[in-house]
Structure 1
Amino acid sequence: MEYFDVFDKDLTKLDKVMERGTSLNKGEFHKVVQIWIKNSNKYLIQQRNKREDRVPYQWALTSGAVLQGEEPLDSIIRETKEEIGLELQKDEIKNISTYFVKHHKASFIMYVYFVEKDVKIEGLVIDKEEVKELKYSSVREIKQMIRRDEFWNYPEQFEAPNYFKVLEKE
């Protein structure tokens, strides 16, 4: 079972731990990470391989929950290695934004990371339990996928006025 540290709206760690699948009280959050991997003006995205997802087999960024005692940057390095077999180094990753997200029953703090790297899909080894397929897509294509409900969407994040503008500056 996975456990996560719990934080308040000021990012203060509370004396509480949550177990995956349980709910938090109002005003409590756990940390989640995701990464935009850019190569030649396109972004590496993955098709999720979980039938139990709200919308099964949606496309998404590489992402995951920050485990108890773990820092967000260490978490995105771990998740990227576990899900798609890509090893990243701390000094090549940039934190581009942080959002508070309420998604169905979950409340979390999303740390959004960015790396520009020449990554060949053929050289990656995916976790077939979590990932069905990888591909590169442009921001325009990802926005279209969001509108068609084909891309995992957190409205507080992807629909924020400057979200993609920040990404396009990188």
Structure 2
Amino acid sequence: MKLTTLCYIEKDDKYLMIHRIKKKHDVNKDKWIGIGGKFERGESPEDCILRETKEETGLTLTSYRLRGVLTFMYNDDDAEMEYIFLYTADGFTGELADCNEGTLEWVPKTEIDSLNLWEGDRIFHRLLDEEAPFFSLKLRYQDDLLKEAALDGKPLELLDLLDENGEPSGQVRERTLVHLNGDWHRTSHVWVVRRRGDGGHDLLLQKRSRGKDSFGGCYDISSAGHIPAGQDYLESALRELKEELGIAAEPEDLRLVGVHDGRYEGEFHGRIFKNHEKSHVFAYEKPVEIEKLKLQKEEVESVKWMRIEDVLAAVKAHDPGYCLFEDEIEMLSEVLA
């Protein structure tokens, strides 16, 4: 286990970063990171970052602050585990010197996301940009793949990014960043369906909790959710149905209706929201009594039955109380007919 520091020096809305290309045996090889290094005996975090900055850049920091602590775990190797004191700095003196760790470059903040970064670095860069209060971020990797992330002790949701064929690409990303960038990802949709006496169908709609990060208070699919990295559509659909509505379904209870590609762009709570999802759409047609459902309060405010024709009409009329895809409801209607 190591104690280290990491600092992002700021000037003209740019960060000074190192492209780690000079060392052969370097866990950070070919990646772009900030300035920093390991503690020496007797050093405080401030002693360490002042010394490392001087050694790596030739600069002397005059204004800096501690922003958070990172727990970095790599391949379950205790020797590669680090507790990293994360700083930003906005004051310095001196002239930039050559660095034996890699190539130094002032990178515009708007271009950082396009660089070859550790995936978890994208999480703390967002926190830095948002001026988040002091934070603790845990990041666990298997080789280059981020396997676990937790912010202030709370797990963060990691999603598989999809390739041009709609299959997992081998890269994962934290959910908030997925919706900031509009990355293509997977979701499962389950429609709870009730057949009427006249041969038509009703849909069970859930009203999203008002505290949701998007579409709070809107009527939505009976049960839906992002698919955690490494899981599959059916597994996720069954889990979400149980968690959100208390329905314990078996795999054979869900009928695959089809695959839907959905897109949306908007803004919620002052934050950009871009959604591009590939969804497996399922129908659950066993009897359901609303009174016996166990709603997940954090996700679902209430539920109601509604004629599929009326749902489609509301969506076509762009009723703001509904956050549904028109073509998905049409697909469902055709299959149920």
TM (normalized to structure 1)?
Answer: 0.86
Structure 1 residues 85-124: Cα deviation after superposition (integer angstroms, max 9, x where no partner): 1111101111111122222112210111112110111111
Q: Which of 282, 285, 288 lines up with 1:113 in the alignment? A: 282
Aligned counterpart, 1:39: 194
Structure with the larger RCO, 1 or 2 (CA within 8 Å, 6+ apart): 1
RMSD over aligned Cα, in angstroms? 2.3
SS at match of 1:82: helix
Question: TM-score under structure 2 normalisation?
Answer: 0.46
Q: In the alignment, which residue of structure 1 is the partner of 2:320?
A: 149
Residues 106 and 86 from structure 1, CA distance in 2 versus in 1: closer, same or farther, beyond 3 angstroms? same
Task: Mark the runs of 5 or more structure 1 residues left unpaired by the alignment.
Answer: none
Give 1:87's aligned amino acid: A
Decide which structure has greater strand share.
2
Q: Could you tell me which runs of 5 or more consecutive residues in structure 2 were left unpaired when the two chains were aligned.
A: 1-155, 196-200, 266-273
Letter in 2 for 1:168: L
CA–CA separation in structure 2 for the residues paired with 1:96 and 1:15: 27
Aligned residue pairs total: 166
Q: Percent identity?
A: 22
Q: CA deviation digits over 1:13-35, x for unaligned, max 9?
A: 21200111013798952101111
Report the CA distance between 1:64 and its aligned residue. Answer: 0.6
Equivalent of 1:96 in 253, 257, 278: 257
Q: Is the 8 A contact 1:72 1:111 kept in 2?
A: yes
Q: Which residue is equivalent to 1:168? A: 336
- Residue 141 (structure 1) shift: 1.9
Pick the aligned partner of 2:220 from 47, 53, 60.
60
Return the alpha-carbon distance in structure 1 between the equivalents of residues 180 and 294 of structure 2.
38
Cα 1:76–1:70 change in 2 (3 A) is same
Matches within 5 A, 1:1-16: 1-16=156-171
SS at match of 1:75: helix
Cα deviation, residue 142, structure 1: 0.9
Structure 2 residue identity aligned to 1:166: E
User: Could you tell me how far apart the structure 2 residues matched to 1:98 and 1:27 are?
Assistant: 19
SS for the counterpart of 1:5 is strand
